[in-house]
Chain A
Amino acid sequence: MYRYDQFDHTIVRERVNQFRDQVARRLSGALTEDEFRPLRLMNGLYLQLHAYMLRVAIPYGTLWSKQMRMLAHIARRYDRGYGHFTTRQNIQFNWPKLEDVPDLLADLASVEMHAIQTSGNSIRNVTADHFAGVADDELEDSRIYAEIIRQWSTLHPEFSFLPRKFKIAVSGAPTDRAAVRFHDIGLQMRQNIRGEVGFEVLVGGGQGRTPVIAETIRDFLPKRDLLSYLEAILRVYNMLGRRDNIYKARIKILLKETGLDRFAALVEEEWERIRGGALDLPLDEINRIRAYFAPPRYELVVDPDAAYQAARRSDREFDRWCVNNVLPNKQPGYGIVNISLKPVGKAPGDATADQMDIIADLAEAFSFDELRVTHKQNIVLGHVRLADLHTVWQQLDAAGLATANFGLASDIIACPGLDYCNLANARSIPVAQRISERFADPERLARIGAIRINISGCINACGHHHVGDIGILGVDRRGEEYYQITLGGDPADNATIGEIIGPSFSYDEIVDAIETIISTYETIRKPEETFSDTWRRTGATPFKETLYGPAHN
């Protein structure tokens, strides 16, 4: 794990002091809300429906136990005993008081955390593959480069007031688990014909009001040139991106207006000017950062653990959890544990302070002190010995954290929606809860198999509805909550934006509509087909027929 150097510590501490002064001036009336709003947003503090909301950055989703314990402490001390892990690998606290936020930030700073650039028109928290360093298909640990980008982009003076927010994701594996095609810049590690590892650079992707799949602007970028090339893209965007219309300010719109070729030519021109200069990334520096992400000291495990095998045979629930939630670590004898934050009937991504503490304890005892937050709003313990799995499972189970639904129908991505969010049209969380209750039966979940159900409470698409096999979007119809369904979305290598299937459904109807879609899929799919496969083979017709009747074709 990366550890702050003196420079990082100073930046964060100074920022806390600066914000403490700004809050004091706001509370005294010396600053108006118009003056204060941009300052609080620079520190991740929003004013939502019922309270302030603080978004804390978790760089590339990786934490160590002490940091998770601090999040638990913050939930208890400054909030209402829980937090919400988000689709950008961050955590949000829903109830802090303005006057407490400086102390809260000081507590965070004590464990090398902050809320800088979690809002505003800046380069946001850089996200990465949540299985970085443990998946057997990766070329390199993507967090090394995410950390290098974090250092370059934090408080970058030129890019603190971009036309709009800017999101970067890094995948170190050929299998994209970081949705790189749906980011302003996506970096996918590739090997060229000489066997060198570098990046395919994708640009202009995003969800929101105008979903766009990123296009490749450069097939292969040497690692050495990473920062100079990113700087060139950002500089062109910063100069040409629109600032007159918030809906047209993202880089994806600029790309549509200029065309990829022209945009790429401008980037190349700028890059030629600056490459090989101060932003050059020498191997020494990469290796310095790489050392922070060195693999842990795994034990050499030769034989499968007999007690683990026996526990799987004798304990059906444990076995089910192993099948669904544990993936092989590239190190033999170790597993990747996916802790589902989607218990049936609960708010997706929420964890109580006690649960955070338990997860931290487990990470410390069984996973080399490290854990990750995924953009699917779950937690990963990356390096658990198979021999320890039964103990880990028992402790998770006692804390209500052993739901065996990873990647299944009740593992739903959902944004906060109208229960918290000022921009929402409709509620997301209770819809997710009702769907998870409908699909609570583990046998049924297993029959349906892997499926992505994603819910957003408005067109901003924080719940990634565009890329769900089944996407649900909350819309407002004359003051009532309605839900539009999209089908066939895919966030990964076959990146696809879901297709609107037909008229929307009311709050009361939506769960039955999802049931109809899933039942239709179960009826028409061929053996071994995923939802995407079936959708690509059949198209919308069978789903429309069962949802709306034959007349709607």
Chain B
Amino acid sequence: MNKKSAIQFEARIITANMLVSGNVLYLDEKRCWDENIANAQIIKNDEDLARLNNMSQDAVMNSIIVGPYVMPVECHSAGLQPVSKRELIRASGPTIPTGFPEKGKPNV
């Protein structure tokens, strides 16, 4: 397990799974759905939340994603880190070798 760098602040982002593949996705700064949590758009305020939620619902309606939800993250100097173990594993892939190259995600 990697030692985490100091937390700078806590925030929230939006995640979902891709409809076609089930891959884990994050809503990013360019309003795209991105596999890399580092690019996730941080929710700044309630207005932002409403706007991003609307975008998520559009993506659901357009058959791009499934089951979007808001998740907490910690912002470190090294980037965004999920708070829960579940989300760490979602972000990084299984913690055991799968026979395939792992995604370049934060270490659990």
Interface residues of A (CB under 8 A from B): 26-29, 33, 47-52, 80-82, 94, 97-99, 347, 352, 418-420, 424, 426-427, 429-430, 433, 479-481
Contacts and interface: CB of A to CB of B under 8 A. Distances in A.
B9 interface: no
A33 B23 CA distance: 16
A99 B66 CA distance: 14
B61 A29 contact: yes
**Chain B binding surface, main DSSP class:** loop
Given A81-B99, A82-B99, A479-B83, A418 B19 contact: no
Contacts of B96: 347, 419, 429-430, 433
Contacts of B63: 26-29
Given A352-B99, A433-B96, A50 B22 contact: yes
A50 B99 contact: no
B89 interface: yes
Interface in B24-82: 24, 60-63, 66-67
Contacts of B94: 50, 419-420, 429
Nearest to B92: A50
Contacts of B19: 26-27, 98
A149 B21 CA distance: 35
A47 B17 contact: yes
A49 B20 contact: no
A82 B98 contact: yes
Nearest to A353: B99
A29 B95 contact: no
B85 A98 contact: no
A99 B93 CA distance: 21
Given A47-B17, A82-B98, A418 B86 contact: yes
A51 B35 CA distance: 12
A489 B85 CA distance: 29
28 contacts: A27-B63, A28-B63, A29-B62, A33-B67, A47-B66, A48-B22, A49-B24, A49-B86, A49-B90, A50-B23, A50-B90, A51-B23, A80-B98, A80-B99, A80-B100, A98-B19, A98-B20, A98-B21, A98-B22, A352-B99, A418-B85, A419-B95, A424-B86, A427-B89, A429-B94, A479-B85, A480-B85, A481-B85
B84 interface: yes
Contact of A97 (B20, B89, B95, B100): B20
Contacts of A426: 85
B100 A33 contact: no
A476 to B, nearest CB: 8
Contacts of A48: 22
A28 B61 CA distance: 10
Given A50-B94, A81-B99, A97-B22, 17 more contacts: A27-B20, A29-B61, A29-B63, A33-B60, A47-B17, A47-B22, A49-B90, A50-B23, A50-B24, A51-B22, A81-B100, A99-B20, A419-B89, A419-B94, A424-B86, A429-B96, A479-B83
B66 A97 contact: no
Contacts of A352: 99
A50 B93 contact: yes
Q: Which of A28, A51, A94, A347 has the most CB of B within 10 A?
A: A51
A553 B70 CA distance: 45
B67 A418 contact: no
A51 B83 CA distance: 21
B92 to A, nearest CB: 9
A271 to B, nearest CB: 44
Interface string B3-18: 0000000000000010
A94 B22 CA distance: 10
Contacts of B85: 418, 426, 479-481
Contacts of B60: 33
Contacts of B90: 49-50
A47 B22 CA distance: 7
A81 B21 CA distance: 16
Q: Which 4 A-B pairs have the closest CB atoms?
A: A51-B22, A419-B94, A29-B63, A52-B22
B38 to A, nearest CB: 17
A504 B1 CA distance: 21
Contacts of B89: 49, 418-419, 427
A449 to B, nearest CB: 28
Contacts of A94: 98
A32 to B, nearest CB: 8
Contact of B95 (A28, A80, A427): A427
A82 B99 CA distance: 8
Nearest to B99: A81
B105 to A, nearest CB: 11
B54 to A, nearest CB: 17
A80 B60 CA distance: 27
B83 A33 contact: no
A438 B99 CA distance: 23
Q: Which of A26, A50, A420 has the most CB of B within 10 A?
A: A50
B18 to A, nearest CB: 9
Contacts of A49: 24, 86, 89-90
Contacts of B67: 33, 47
A479 B22 contact: no
Contacts of A420: 94
